[in-house]
Amino acid sequence: MDENLQRYAPPFVADEYSAKERYLIEPFFSNLDQSVYLALIPDPELVGALMSRASRATGDLRTIFLRDYIKPMLHPVFDKEKDTEATWQEKLDQASEMWAFIDFLHVHPFSKIFANKRARDFYTKWLAQYGDDSIAQMTGMHLVFANISQITIKHFEDQRIGLAPIEQSTRYVPYDTKVAGRYRYYTDPDLDNDTSLEGSYLFEEFEAANELLFETYSELIPQLKSWLTEKYPEVKANDIEKKAFDSLRGLLPMGTQSQVAFYGNAQAFEHLINRGQEHPLGEIRWAANRVREELSQRTPSLFRRVNDDSEKSVHYQKYLAGKTERLRHESLEITDMIMTGGASEDRSEVKIIDHDPIEKIITAMIYSTADYHESWQDTYQQVLAMNEKQRDIIITKYLSGRNERWMKIGRAFEMSYVTIEIMMNIGAWRDLHRHRMLTQIKQSFSCYHSYDTPAVLMESGLEQPYREALNTMSHVFAKIAQRDENIAQYATCLSHRMRFVQHKNIRECFWEGELRTTQACHPDYRKIEQLIFKELEKIYPLITKHSLVDMNDYDFARRGEAKKIEAKLQKLNSI
């Protein structure tokens, strides 16, 4: 790849470290001054704890590692209330061991100790030459993006299998601060390439619209917090703040830069690279290339194929990148036919497109019973002849004893599928997008379906600036979409609505519906899950009556969460 990808790199300002601080953490990361890096921490608990901080941390994970894990370990403090002589000595011994370990790694870094020729030759032979992909699943790496846009994050997360992402939360992390005098959003440099009279202003219009969104977001946070505090004086300040962040996240554009950490195997990362190397969006091409560089430096034998610039490799990457591009002509023809015939203007939030019969589930229940050995077809015919009472008895017995949502239902429920079309705002879709045991097919992000305005903003009288900022960005989207619909996706916000389809089995319906309707959930997707449940009730009443979906509404998500967590910790510590 010979294009200058660096021009697509998101703006990034690296944290500064003293020479001593660099010495302490250099061995544990692939770099300290770039926005894409690998964590090289060998202990699973330590690296897992650090990567998990990506969700609620406002700073760089490398700095957090230094501040919260390394320094406290190297410079222990005696706790008069908790430390005994034995625990204090344990802290001192641990500090001594860590100092020795860091010194050792500077002389004998991981890259030299574990650059095992036999292991690399094994992967070169069986993976690169013979294509035995299953062995690549035996590897695991932690990769971090310090700041990439929501567009790129969702592209990578859409891969679904083999990757475990943890992304910066819009509920716990405010986006009202600037970095080097700029709000955290991405502008595609190709916007500046349009030399037409109107196009020459697009770059400036796009950035002005983003500035207005972030300024409105920043100004409304204290106003909404004040109103909520007055209305709910009994609610703690921390819960008030999270409610404000939740309510205003719709202003954040899809160009918003966030931190995300991935754990994945080599096969998954190879596919991530291949999916991105020829993508129409420059930021995604840049990000995929940086992943390739970081992983190839650390484990070269695992990524030989993505470093092969042969015609075959490039052809495959272009094939992957073109999946949503190849049918543009045909899709426009279908749009014209729909408009000519009179579009249905169906704006239903939830619509069941297709569903399998309940008999398949009941058959699976009987089929897997101990000491049952009859054929599927014969069993299915008997189930077809059953009356409703007989079916009800079987389902009830199968689920007997389940009284908590974390108690997973049996695999028999995977035998029947439903296809559901959903229209909801992008912010809420991001939460449902995390579910992987299903097929999700989404349309591109746009402003064609308008946007949602939270009820709390209308009730508090703060909806006008909210709408003005979103209307401004919607206007910019329309202009950019005339020139490049891919880049135009950056001109959408989390409040803009989108269409997508879920194809999932009833077991996943149980899991998703029960998980996404609790008090801790965002009201936007709780509402959608409750609508889905109501539709499923019409089709599978014998099944849904056993569901633990919460049909209540809550004014605050996670109210009293801190108190509940503290009670659980005390219980665990007493064991």
Q: Is the Cα torsion angle 252, 253, 258, 264 positive or negative in sign?
A: positive
What is the pLDDT confidence band of residue 49, given thresholds at 50, 70 and 90? very high
So what's the pLDDT on residue 197?
Answer: 45
Contact (Cβ atoms closer than 8 angstroms) between residue 424 and residue 433: no
Residue 196 confidence (pLDDT) above 60: no
- The model's pLDDT over 444-498, given as tens digits with 9 standing for 90+, comes to 999 999 999 999 999 999 999 999 999 999 999 999 999 999 999 999 999 999 9
Rounded CA separation 277/1 (Å): 8
What is the per-residue pLDDT for 560? 62
Can you tell me which residue has the tokens 């579910």?
Answer: 435
Query: Does the model's pTM come out above 0.85?
Result: yes
* pLDDT band (50, 70, 90) for residue 115: confident
In the predicted structure, residue 2 carries a pLDDT above the cut 60:
no
Any idea which residue has 């879920």 for tokens?
502
Higher local confidence (pLDDT), 136 or 130:
136
Given this model, what pLDDT does residue 453 score? 97
Cβ neighbours, 10 Å, residue 561 = 16
Identify the band that residue 533 occupies on the pLDDT scale cut at 50, 70 and 90.
very high
Residue whose tokens read 């796009």 = 206
Residues of the chain above pLDDT 70, percent: 94
**Do 56 and 170 contact (CB within 8 A), yes or no?**
no
Please provide the average confidence, as pLDDT, over all residues in the chain.
92
Return phi, psi of residue 144, to 5°.
-125, 135
* Strand ranges in 172-286 using DSSP code E only, listed in sequence order: 257-264
| Least confident range of 303-307, 363-367, 438-442 | 303-307
Residue showing tokens 């009820």: 455
| pLDDT tens digit sequence for 292-336 | 999 999 888 888 888 887 788 899 999 999 988 899 889 988 888
The answer to whether the CB of 239 falls within 8 A of the CB of 558 is yes
Give mean pLDDT, residues 153-176.
94
Residue written as tokens 């955290």? 184
Residue 3 has pLDDT above 80, yes or no: no
Q: For position 539, what pLDDT does the model report?
A: 97
Q: In this predicted structure, what is the pLDDT of residue 563?
A: 66
Q: How far apart are CA 447 and CA 557, in angstroms?
A: 28
Instruction: Confirm if 110 and 3 have CB atoms less than 8 A apart.
Output: no
CA dist 250 to 30, 35, 215, 562, Å? 35, 26, 13, 25
pLDDT interval class at 569 (50, 70, 90): low
| pLDDT bracket for residue 35 (50, 70, 90) | very high
For residue 199, the model assigns a pLDDT of 54
* Strands lying side by side in the sheet with 257-264: 36-39, 141-149, 257-264, 163-167
